[in-house]
Copies of this chain bind each other. A is one copy, B any other.
Amino acid sequence: MIEQLRRERPLVVCVTNDVVKPFTANSLLSLGASPIMSGEKSEAADILKHAGALLLNIGTCTEDKIPLYEEMARCANEYNIPVVLDPVGYGASAFRRNLTDKLLGEYDIALVKGNAGEIHALSGREAVSKGVDSIIEGNTLDIAKDAHEVLNVPVLVTGEMDAYADGKEKMTMHNGHKYLEVITGSGCVLGAITAAFLALENKSDSIADAVSLYNIAAEKAARSATGPGTFAAKLIDEIYNFKTEDYNARRVDVHE
């Protein structure tokens, strides 16, 4: 589906956190998508009109930006554009919990994506969050299934093994590299990439295609990296250089 993405060049509107903006934009450009970042509520309708997907990442959201997040979600729903929600640090503060719960409660969300700790907490299970990293060990598939049952939206849980659950499908994805855990925004960028795939016309397997592309690119990047700094630059290279046949390395298990 990467060839289709490069042909359609979907516009992905990113309302994302301050820490990951350059990495997110560069990943989308390398992928072949067209990113736009905005912090201005009054332009939501204008820029979403031509968009293929909306990414809402709450990483550095503040009280005064909540109307922005809501207006973006409202316009995306009105135009029937898929919304990917990344509840960064859910569990780290009441502010993040309340914001996420409000967005999930009041708007149609096409995908919730987070690490094990965030999604575990989202399900109402007790979870201790230390910063924006997860300290939950255990089966990401169980966490995804559990969250889908509680929230009734498609859920992607990232970790050493990534897991996805919606009403029809459950799967685990096994590509990736440990360096992804020591670069900031690696999860946030995956959220942006899934948004780009969800923007395509006549899509199928968007999630597996997005996650596998990113993780296989990471495996390739790690081969010549000497640490997480050079890895991050080479990851962008490998997203750009990704070819359909690179999907041959894909390791995805579909579950009952």
A206 within 8 A of B: no
Provide the A231-256 mask, 1 if CB < 8 A to any CB of B, else 0.
Answer: 01111111111000000000000000
CB of B236 within 8 A of CB of A228, answer yes
Query: Inside 8 A of A236's CB, which chain B residues have their CB?
Result: 227-230, 232
Query: Inside 8 A of A228's CB, which chain B residues have their CB?
Result: 26, 29-30, 236-237, 240
A101 within 8 A of B: no
Number of interface residues of A (CB under 8 A): 61
Q: Contact partner of A234 among B38, B92, B230, CB < 8 A?
A: B230
**How many monomers of this protein are in the complex?**
3
Q: If the complex has contacts A131-B36, A184-B26, are A42 and B95 also in contact, measured as CB distance less than 8 A?
A: yes
CB of A25 within 8 A of CB of B19, answer yes
State in angstroms the CA–CA spacing of A8 and B25 once bound together: 33
CB of A22 within 8 A of CB of B131, answer no
State in angstroms the CA–CA spacing of A184 and B182 once bound together: 21
A17 within 8 A of B: yes
A136 within 8 A of B: no
Q: 9 A-B pairs, CB-CB below 8 angstroms?
A: A17-B37, A18-B37, A29-B184, A30-B182, A34-B130, A43-B95, A47-B92, A226-B237, A233-B233
